[in-house]
Amino acid sequence: MKTFFLIGLFLYGSILFSEESNNIHLPFPNLSDEIQVEEKVSGEVILPRDTREKASLENSSLPHQKENSESNTPKNSAKKKNEIIEDPYKGSYPRGSYHLNRADKQSALKEFNQSSSSGEANANLAKLEVIRLLANERKTSQAKSIIESIDNTDLKFKAYFELGMGLENSAKTKKEKEESIPIYLHIISEAPRQLIFEKGKEEKADKDAPPPPNPLLPRSRFTLANLLFQLGEDLPALDHLAKIILDFPNSEYVDDALYLSGRIYEDGQPGLVRDSKKAKKYYKIFLNRKNEEMFKNSIYRKEVEERYKNL
């Protein structure tokens, strides 16, 4: 009798343990299973306000996105089997840009040359790229012959500027740097005084207002002035900077011109141009215009303020 009682008690305890074991929670539950259950109930994972905003900004609500991407991938790939995908590098100019981005200059030059002589829509842009590459190799004569073949006046002088910059950047000696000077002077003396509008853009311009000045002129003057300053030619540099300040007071290079003028007078050659009073004058002009559009975000602003205080 006692034996039957013990056997019955053992079986009853086993049943109780079996039922309780179904309710045991692991210390690290399967979160993906919990999310799936919650989605089945509401169709959407409900997050607190802050969490929802963060999730939307960081694209962190990935369960839906992952399911969609996985389910759509076979369909999209099936559709694309019969589609003709256009080659993004169709044409010599895009192929030249592709090679140039990978530092393959010889292949890039070949493609750009082909584009510039083929009458493609990007033919003139291809010529600019050829000029940059030739300038880096200091092949000035070849570059100039290509520049003269450009029929767009505005683009032609931009090409001259690219030639000057390329020669300056690739120069290893003072003499080589000086080869850029006549290029910049040619732009300053020969480029149109006013901006030339492209075809189709004339209507957008104010017909009653005078045409705006050519932005390439102050840019070329400042580039030349900065080069002369590096070469120790302070007086010619100041002359070109003064032209920017007087003739192009609203250009994007006027803050550069005022700053560099002040620096030359502050740190220039003693007995020749160094003059702290003149330096302070140019810094003062700069600071008087600090609320104007071209001065608000000037990279020189804080430095000018410090230099003005210390003079």
* Tens-place pLDDT, residues 54-68: 333 333 333 333 344
At residue 197, the pLDDT reads 60
HSE on the CB side for 173, CA within 13 Å?
Answer: 3
CATH superfamily of 213-311: Tetratricopeptide repeat domain (1.25.40.10)
User: Matching CATH topology for 90-191 and 213-311?
Assistant: yes
At residue 16, the pLDDT reads 43
Burial label, 219 (beta-carbon count in 10 A; 0-12, 13-18, 19+) = buried
At residue 48, the pLDDT reads 36
Measured CA distances, 261 to 130, 229, 283, 287, 290 (Å): 35, 10, 9, 14, 16
| All structural domains of the chain with their residue ranges | 90-191, 213-311
Helix axes 123-136, 105-118, angle to 10 degrees: 140
At residue 124, the pLDDT reads 84
Cβ neighbours for 12, distance < 8 A, ≥ 6 positions apart: none
At residue 123, the pLDDT reads 84
The residue ranges of the chain whose pLDDT is under 70 are: 1-89, 197-208
Q: What CATH number has the domain spanning 90-191?
A: 1.25.40
Helix (H, G, I), strand (E, B) or coil at 213: strand
- Residue 217 has which token pair? 């002129």
Instruction: List b or e across 69-96, with b for residues whose CB sees 16 or more CB atoms inside 10 angstroms.
Output: eeeeeeeeeeeeeeeeeeeeeebbbbbb
pLDDT tens for each residue of 286-305: 999 999 988 999 999 999 99
- Residue 66 has which token pair? 């992952």
